[in-house]
Structure 1
Amino acid sequence: MLNSVIVIDDEASIRTAVEQWLSLSGFNVQLFARAEDCLSQLPKHFPGVIISDVRMPGMGGLQLLERLQADDPDLPVILLTGHGDVPMAVEAMRNGAYDFLEKPFTPQHLLGSLRRALEKRQLVLENRRLHEQADLKSRLEGTLLGMSQGLQLLRRQVLDLASLPVNVLIRGETGSGKERVARCLHDFGPRAAKPFVALNCAAIPEALFEAELFGHESGAFTGAQGKRVGKLEYANGGTVFLDEIESMPLAQQAKLLRVIQEQKLERLGANQSINVDLRIIAATKPDLLEEARAGRFREDLAYRLNVAELRLAPLRERREDIPLLFDHFARAAADRLGRAAPPLSGAQLAQLLAHDWPGNVRELANAAERHALGLGSPGTAVAPAGQSLSEQMEAFEAQCLRAALRQHGGAISAVMEALQLPRRTLNEKMQRHGLSRDDFTGR
């Protein structure tokens, strides 16, 4: 239950009395003598109620109400009025005020109005939260494409972790989309407005690694002309994505560990520490603890990075996502060329589903672009790789079911008619492939 209350009144005796009443009743009270001071300190989406006198020097309660309504029309404002201000207060309620209390008022009257206002505020904020979550979920579905159970779990995990101030380790094969997931963790969290800095640790020469990450002062080493801000300092307030973290030199691992622990760094050639606020997202293909046991990675750093872990399944383990991803990449390539993407035949789709895609999503995107450019069909661009006929048929069946459910918005009767399946058979197949009509109804 919300319990935050702001009281604005130019009379110190009124402020003191109201604060005593509300504090004894368990409310968190903040006092202001001027409306202007309240506005300058009011947080966005304030989780409470504002109580304000109508007549005050400078900005009065009605002007305050107008300003608050412009920023947040659902913020409850209770006005305190003298006897002559009652008609004015009634008009203010027509303009959005929650309630008015005529002085002198009893503590019981104030508490009753305040509790009702707080209940309303709680409902409004909860409704906003649900709408924001639905919007984020929809945006994420358009960024991390796929309907497989693994992708649905990954999207839920990303939404859960995006808002948490923890470091994340992403594990996955080459081309599986680790940087895209890292970008989502940044874009869907509170650091979205700050920098997102991506570094491939395997692509930085060891001799330049320290200067690249930490920066340097002028003359710190031969050729260091002028001061340079490193990637970690540049990302202050935001996110650093360290791909192929297992390739980081051991000496720099120790320095990164210190940055994580102390939230401070030193440029090369400097004696002064710089405070930084960073979230580290690292990505790796091998198991970092196994690398540590082999002496190639610091075990303490591995634990610091792996506060939370996300595993990206290779494309061969989520074949039901292949048609959707292929269509997305082919359409994007065709749009860039101002032409229509060629349709896929059944045989071509079967070959897409049969291929093991060792390059994962990156390889699939390349094949889709070649298909859109007319440089080879999927049937010639990829080759079957040892999947049995029954496995291919299962994957194709799951895709057909998913396409029909999506086309008919989860309407079971329409899907039965389109696929010419009895209800019991359809239910059994949907259960076997982990499909639920609720995932396609748009609810």
Structure 2
Amino acid sequence: MKRKARILLVDDDVSLLKLLGLRLKSEGFAVTTAGSGAEALTWLEQERPDLVLSDLRMDGMDGLALFDRIQRQHVGLPVIIMTAHGSITDAITATRSGVFGFLTKPIDKEELRKTINQALAVSLPAVVDDWQQRVPTRSPIMIALLEQARRIAPLDISVLLTGPSGSGKALMAQALHDSSPRQDYPFISLNCGAMTEQLLESELFGHVNGAFSGATSDHPGVFISAAGGTVLLEDVGELSPALQGKLLQVLAQQQVRALGASQSATTDVRVLSSTNRDLVTAMEEGTFREDLFYRLNVMNLQLPALEQRPEDIPLLARQALEQLKTRQQTQVTGFSPEALSMLAAANWPGNVRQLLNVVEQAVAMASVPVIGTQLLEGILADSREQFPTFNEARAEFERLYLHKILRMTDGNVSQAAGLAGRNRTDFYKLLSRHGIEAGAYKEKRKE
């Protein structure tokens, strides 16, 4: 169901505020009123409307001063200015500063409706259904991406989600599933870079009792567990060549055989996959199968880094706060305007995931209802130290482990591979991945 457009109406004349508010509500808009610029900014800390309609001449903060604050703190939010003292000078000043429209009181009903609709055509995302709730955005880049995603969501095709770590690929995959004919069936996500090859094979394709070390019962695997639904293969670029081949066979034949099973079972799932690696380069290097790539990449959705959509930062921060408020008891009600400006100006190498983490820390540490700049300064300084992702931490462990085991074996690859429980070929691949030369340890030993 299409929601009503939200308008924030600002005027220090109480009677006109009430009268115009009733008129706008009768036109089908959701209207919130504020009796001053300061009150409007307070309201904007909690929720973003689609349009601000403000009087020009107000005590304290006038309409242009309010617009200036909105322009800095709520990028892209259109503002229409009204005044009973209209003049060519006022109109030129307003429109040159970026105000969307300028209306003279008494407000002409048709002119008001026309100007509002023109502003909303720019302000309201083209995607105004449930997608707006799933993936909130004001970014033109993201709005275009959501339009594309909404078109392909009902299609039973494979989609490859690419983009930097933390950019929201898993959230987009969930949105694709929720908008597809498979939405009433399971959505199962599996991280291909977070487990050993043997365990990953079992999780992908399943096993029967006794076919997997430590197993005490049968395990169907995601292609059977998600029957009728969707499987998301996260970090699909981390699949070993052997598992790439088995996955390709499952996708091509729509049949899966569990480890230790004598017969295959039919699969009925939609496969989504994600990666922050350049799979085209990986194909050129021979580390990712070309035929599998084209099976997974029937359609590609590339998510932008957060720095490419800065207008979304305040929106995402406020939404994260609202979600935290529903999950846990907290006295925090919002961010100060200065705090939101600080978030918008910060660097986010960890993208949306890092922003959400900062908001969660701020809520946990806040001792007052409104999160201010002083608290955020410390949290942002700590976050710049970049806590590693799971894959980064695993890679660092592997590197240190390989150095240690080569020192123990004086660079003898056969012995090192035996201690690591790998064959020589796999062990050499590990060394190559981390740029480690086994011969260097033999030379050091001779010295």
- When normalised by structure 2's length, the TM-score is 0.53
Question: Per the alignment, in what secondary structure is the counterpart of residue 216 of structure 1?
Answer: coil
Query: 2:357 matched to which residue of 1?
Result: 366
Q: What is the rounded CA distance, in whole Å, between the counterparts of 1:215 and 1:318 in structure 2?
A: 40
Q: What is the rounded CA distance, in whole Å, between the counterparts of 1:149 and 1:190 in structure 2?
A: 27
Query: 1:242 matched to which residue of 2?
Result: 233
Query: Are positions 1:355 and 2:346 aligned together?
Result: yes
Unmatched 5+ stretches in structure 2:
1-124, 367-373, 385-447
Question: Per the alignment, in what secondary structure is the counterpart of residue 247 of structure 2?
Answer: helix
Return the letter of the residue paired with 1:319.
P
Per-residue Cα deviation, 1:87-144 (whole angstroms, up to 9, x for no partner): xxxxxxxxxxxxxxxxxxxxxxxxxxxxxxxxxxxxxxxxxxxxxxx99842110110
Return the letter of the residue paired with 1:247.
E
RMSD (Å) for aligned C-alpha atoms: 2.5
Query: 2:138 matched to which residue of 1?
Result: 147
Q: What is the rounded CA distance, in whole Å, between the counterparts of 1:148 and 1:221 in structure 2?
A: 47
Q: What is the rounded CA distance, in whole Å, between the counterparts of 1:374 and 1:217 in structure 2?
A: 48
Asked whether the equivalents of residues 255 and 265 of structure 2 are also in contact (C-alpha less than 8 Å), the reply is yes
Query: 2:83 matched to which residue of 1?
Result: none
Asked whether the equivalents of residues 242 and 283 of structure 1 are also in contact (C-alpha less than 8 Å), the reply is yes
Query: Are positions 1:293 and 2:284 aligned together?
Result: yes
What is the Cα deviation at residue 335 of structure 1? 4.0
What is the Cα deviation at residue 372 of structure 1? 2.6
Query: 1:183 matched to which residue of 2?
Result: 174
Q: What are the equivalent positions in structure 2 for 1:1-400 lying under 5 Å apart?
A: 137-375=128-366, 377-382=375-380
Query: 1:120 matched to which residue of 2?
Result: none
Q: What is the rounded CA distance, in whole Å, between the counterparts of 2:237 and 2:224 in structure 1?
A: 22
Q: What is the rounded CA distance, in whole Å, between the counterparts of 1:278 and 1:137 in structure 2?
A: 28
Query: 2:85 matched to which residue of 1?
Result: none
TM-aligned CA distance change 1:347 to 1:251, over 3 Å: same
Asked whether the equivalents of residues 326 and 368 of structure 1 are also in contact (C-alpha less than 8 Å), the reply is yes
> Which piece of structure 1 moves more, 258-267 or 206-215?
206-215
Return the letter of the residue paired with 2:269.
L
TM-aligned CA distance change 1:353 to 1:272, over 3 Å: same
Query: 2:3 matched to which residue of 1?
Result: none
TM-aligned CA distance change 1:218 to 1:357, over 3 Å: same
Unmatched 5+ stretches in structure 1:
1-133, 387-443
TM-aligned CA distance change 1:221 to 1:140, over 3 Å: closer
TM-aligned CA distance change 1:197 to 1:337, over 3 Å: closer
Query: Percent identity among equivalent residues?
Result: 38
What is the Cα deviation at residue 260 of structure 1? 0.9
Asked whether the equivalents of residues 202 and 221 of structure 2 are also in contact (C-alpha less than 8 Å), the reply is yes
Q: What is the rounded CA distance, in whole Å, between the counterparts of 1:330 and 1:222 in structure 2?
A: 44
Asked whether the equivalents of residues 348 and 379 of structure 1 are also in contact (C-alpha less than 8 Å), the reply is no
Query: 1:72 matched to which residue of 2?
Result: none
Asked whether the equivalents of residues 201 and 244 of structure 1 are also in contact (C-alpha less than 8 Å), the reply is yes
Query: 1:401 matched to which residue of 2?
Result: none
Question: Per the alignment, in what secondary structure is the counterpart of residue 183 of structure 1?
Answer: helix
- When normalised by structure 1's length, the TM-score is 0.54
Q: What is the rounded CA distance, in whole Å, between the counterparts of 1:371 and 1:265 in structure 2?
A: 46
What is the Cα deviation at residue 158 of structure 1? 1.7
Asked whether the equivalents of residues 356 and 385 of structure 1 are also in contact (C-alpha less than 8 Å), the reply is no
> How many pairs are equivalent?
253
Greater relative contact order structure (CA < 8 Å, 6+ sep): 2
